[in-house]
Structure 1
Amino acid sequence: MNSKFIFRSILAVAVVTAASCKPELKTATPSKGNADFSRYISVGNSLTSGFADNGLYLEGQQNSYPLMIATQMQTVGGGAFSTPFFNANQSDGTGYKKLSGFTATGDPVITDVPAQAVIGSATVPGFGTVPLFTKYTGDLNNYGVPGIRLNNITLTYYGNLNPYFERLLPNTSPANTIPYLSFVTAKPYTFFSMWLGNNDVLGYATGGASVPADFPTDKALFAQLYNLAAGTMVKGGTGGAGTAKGVVATIPDVLSTPYFTTVTLKALLTAVQASAPTVQAIFIQPGSGAPRPATADDYFLLPLKAANVIGKPNAAGIPYGLHPLNPVESKYVLDKAEAAVIVDYTNSYNATIKSVAAANGLALMDANALFKSYAAGRVVNGAAVSAAYITGNLFSLDGIHLTPLGYAIVANEFIKSINSQYGSSIPIVDVTKYRGVKFP
């Protein structure tokens, strides 16, 4: 049958139908379902705080996913949501990176914006010197602490070691004694989000597996602490009725972020061969064993690009990375075996998170699946978004944390999970209101 005839027939029927009856527009009424959002708190690390571009600063805090979620919750009875913002005169916070331009060959020029909220330092016996940030003393709903691992949440001294946590506490380092888990549950709340565990693998990965102290948290200990955290959170804090509901999130596949996908073996060789066409290998120092040629199964870290050291000779005149006697250092490489450790521990942690969520009746946001789905790119409201560095607009300039657009996408996934679990109809965020990477 002729396709034009089919189209015209359908159009005719549509016109007749439209003329015979008035259209009935139905709008979903926001509903809280069987959850209570009157006091929502967010528990987590840098992703929860709004960390971006390798720093915590006011614009990033203003575009955190918990604040976006809380704003949408207000349509279904949600209350006020307080974020530990830096003051306007210290809006650059702990400092961050910005895109200043591009070189003649198209490489990004990234510069550092100085910190404005560093007020000094403190000496912690047995640990050394830690910076101090301007204290935050107001109401608090966003408890995101950059750098915190799950195996830090019960440590009584942790508030003296992590300046992001220290700035939220009443005492000055080294006089803090309250563990993170106790701090976030000190006041009653009705609903929570918890995104913990990312840093239990992230530090090992971003350091090229070169720092023994950053090795992933023991799997059994992770399971024990995650059960403790979830069990404590559902009680609703001090004075709570033990009926708090919440949502938890899995750990993203860090190897799919720009920090590990931007600098490739192919790109390095192409750049070197432009002036030295006979070069056929980039030599690396793996985690164990002798230096060897890199393969496609090894990961080069984003800082290697900024270091700009490939091919530069050492004191003996041996070019960096082009000879086994001067290989790319382990801190710039995650070799195949080390990458396998990251995958193994991430899978184990996520199995625990999913199990604990089910056992406690909590909503689950599968961040691992979400981030992987953007590896090849997706269309969001007509715009192409991917995990590509800078041009993908999902990840900020540090290659790990998100842009405001990325955080809006994450907020919507949380909201969808909450609605599905608790029968609520919290409206999703309009992602078109949020930017990707800021160009000069």
Structure 2
Amino acid sequence: MKIIKLLSLLLFLGSTLLSCTYTPPEPAEDPTNPRTAPTSGSADFSKYVAVGNSITAGFMDNALYEEGQLNAYPVILANRMKMVNGDAAFNTPVLASPTGAGFGGFVPGTATPVGRFRFILPTCGPNPSATNTLGLTPAPIVPGDNLAPYAGDKAALNNFSAPGTKSFHVFVNGYGANPQQGNPFYWRFASAPAASFLGDALAAQPTFFSYWLGYSDVLFYAITGGSGNANPGTNPATYAANDMTDPALFESAMNTALGALLGGANTKGVVATVPDVTRAPFFRLINEALTTGGARSAIPFALSEGQAAALNAGYAQLGPAAAAVNFKAGKVNFPVIVTATGLRHMDPGKDFLVLTTPQDSLLAGTISACNPGQRAGWGITKPIESRYVLDETEKNMVRARIEAYNTEIRAAANTGGRADRLALADIHQLFEGLDNSRNTIAPGGIISVDGLHPNPMGQAMIANEFIRAINAEFGSTLPPVNLRNYRQNILPEN
């Protein structure tokens, strides 16, 4: 499979863009300049600890790297807390690398590590930093860096978060025992081979904490086209990597973790809801790229009467499994996809081709700038495999699971004695309010190049929502940050 490739319709940036980091112009006056002095209210921010997964870790552009980690929302939040806690330290297990360690590890078939994604420009020449596809292309920096153990003082850490961490993982002793078993991102900073995520966080003795888990509990099911088990039960020992966490297991894990974190008599914290992962650009970009442009769009594709008849005859040989496949003459044919109930044409308004779909395999018009005839027939002569498609049924299951998690998260923040000790940051609602000019990897967007994780400006937006929730609950007056001080995605060199 080729590295992720996007069509020119995906990101038309214009020919005048220079090599730069896209950042909107600064306003005449910083709107976040506090009009009242920062105060802590009823909260004690002297020892802030963050517990979470990839977003909390500052994972962005499909990699863990220094700039991303230092722009994670807990770091931004902790810097605001320093205004009222005597400049107390907030230490995060930084991987001192500008290129980073990419998720996915290595260039296929080699021992060469991949780094973070960046935009690169198209060309048919020998430029190794470009691609032979049309339009801007997110592709990894090669070589990247291998994950390395955190060299700082592990006992002084404040940020306990790692990509891939699910709600129940925080209790697993040995979750970071070694890079091959458990979580290699936690392995970097685990206090000991037999340590647990929550145990390490509690050892830091927080006076205030943020807890945000749940995204990874649905993420891997969604990005692999529903390849896992949507209903694996409540025994985590039986779970495979791509299974969605059962709501009852999520509730139990969350409440147990929150109970432990609130163990200090005066400890307080903030918990966050889970955004709808299916609204991320990862699930929309290819659909939009292939279907935008009316008569010039790559799909639906046009067939003659003879082509349609021949295809229908071929699929008829597959029997009832292909009963929903019906090609027609004209530009009305959407790709055939594999679903749990058989083959059918995709509905681009309800089904998603994920960003990892190898577009040069689609029979959907010119894909390569260098080889206009490059096609493999996916979607017409060969149904698109289910791992590249999040179909409507799977999408609805993911959304229902997120809704179930968020119901429990909101209840946890308003239950009994916790009501005055837990603030609720409604990140789900924050992301629901984003329009396509923000919820994108294009200029103006707050999502990093991997299509799933926020870029520094997106992290700052999340930090402001945490600040808003904390101030509302505890009467503190932490000032929000100016979003324009945080970069968006880096544009490529000419």
TM-score by length of 2: 0.72
Q: Which residue of 1 aligns with 2:287?
A: 264
Mapped to 2, the partners of 1:312 and 1:376 lie a distance apart of 24
Q: How many angstroms does 1:59 deviate by?
A: 0.9
Q: How many angstroms does 1:170 deviate by?
A: 4.1
- Structure 1 residue 98 corresponds to structure 2 residue 118: yes
C-alpha spacing 1:273/1:334, structure 2 compared with 1 (3 Å): closer
**Aligned ranges 1:12-411 → 2 under 5 Å:** 27-77=35-85, 79-87=88-96, 90-94=97-101, 95-102=115-122, 107-114=135-142, 116-118=144-146, 133-138=148-153, 139-160=156-177, 161-171=182-192, 176-212=193-229, 213=240, 214-235=242-263, 241-264=264-287, 267-268=290-291, 270-272=297-299, 278-295=330-347, 296-304=349-357, 306-311=358-363, 319-323=377-381, 326-359=382-415, 360-361=418-419, 362-377=422-437, 386-411=438-463
Q: How many angstroms does 1:105 deviate by?
A: 8.8
Q: How many angstroms does 1:200 deviate by?
A: 0.5
Q: How many angstroms does 1:318 deviate by?
A: 7.4
C-alpha spacing 1:284/1:177, structure 2 compared with 1 (3 Å): farther
TM-score by length of 1: 0.80
Mapped to 2, the partners of 1:169 and 1:399 lie a distance apart of 29
C-alpha spacing 1:422/1:102, structure 2 compared with 1 (3 Å): farther
Mapped to 2, the partners of 1:353 and 1:114 lie a distance apart of 40
Q: Which moved more, 1:390-399 or 1:48-57?
A: 390-399
Q: Is the 8 A contact 1:159 1:178 kept in 2?
A: yes
Determine which structure has the larger helix proportion and give its number. 1
Q: Is the 8 A contact 2:158 2:204 kept in 1?
A: no
Superposition RMSD in Å: 2.5
Q: How many angstroms does 1:76 deviate by?
A: 1.4
1:158-184 per-position Cα deviation (integer Å, ceiling 9, x unaligned):
21321100000244xxxx212211121
Mapped to 2, the partners of 1:106 and 1:432 lie a distance apart of 31
Q: Is the 8 A contact 1:96 1:112 kept in 2?
A: yes
Mapped to 1, the partners of 2:276 and 2:441 lie a distance apart of 16
Mapped to 2, the partners of 1:85 and 1:233 lie a distance apart of 24
Mapped to 1, the partners of 2:338 and 2:301 lie a distance apart of 26
Q: Is the 8 A contact 1:48 1:64 kept in 2?
A: yes
Q: Which residue of 2 aligns with 1:121?
A: none
Q: How many angstroms does 1:153 deviate by?
A: 1.4
Q: Is the 8 A contact 2:335 2:346 kept in 1?
A: yes
Q: How many angstroms does 1:211 deviate by?
A: 3.2
Q: Is the 8 A contact 2:455 2:487 kept in 1?
A: yes
Unpaired runs of 5+ in structure 1?
A: 1-24, 119-131, 236-240, 378-385
Q: Which residue of 2 aligns with 1:126?
A: none
Q: Is the 8 A contact 2:302 2:331 kept in 1?
A: no
Q: Which moved more, 1:40-49 or 1:256-265?
A: 256-265
Mapped to 2, the partners of 1:246 and 1:354 lie a distance apart of 14
Identity of aligned residues (%): 34
Q: Which residue of 2 aligns with 1:14?
A: none
Mapped to 1, the partners of 2:191 and 2:426 lie a distance apart of 35
Mapped to 2, the partners of 1:354 and 1:49 lie a distance apart of 23
SS at match of 1:414: helix
C-alpha spacing 1:93/1:376, structure 2 compared with 1 (3 Å): closer
1:165-206 per-position Cα deviation (integer Å, ceiling 9, x unaligned):
0000244xxxx2122111211121111111111100111001
Q: How many angstroms does 1:389 deviate by?
A: 3.1
Mapped to 1, the partners of 2:138 and 2:412 lie a distance apart of 41
Q: Which one-letter code corresponds to 1:339 in the other structure?
A: K
Q: How many angstroms does 1:307 deviate by?
A: 4.0
Q: How many angstroms does 1:116 deviate by?
A: 4.7
SS at match of 1:158: coil
Q: Which residue of 1 aligns with 2:23?
A: none
C-alpha spacing 1:206/1:392, structure 2 compared with 1 (3 Å): farther
Aligned residues: 378
C-alpha spacing 1:302/1:110, structure 2 compared with 1 (3 Å): same
Q: Which one-letter code corresponds to 1:406 in the other structure?
A: G
C-alpha spacing 1:266/1:415, structure 2 compared with 1 (3 Å): closer
Mapped to 1, the partners of 2:300 and 2:277 lie a distance apart of 30
SS at match of 2:440: coil
Mapped to 1, the partners of 2:76 and 2:143 lie a distance apart of 25
Mapped to 2, the partners of 1:157 and 1:223 lie a distance apart of 23
Q: How many angstroms does 1:309 deviate by?
A: 1.4
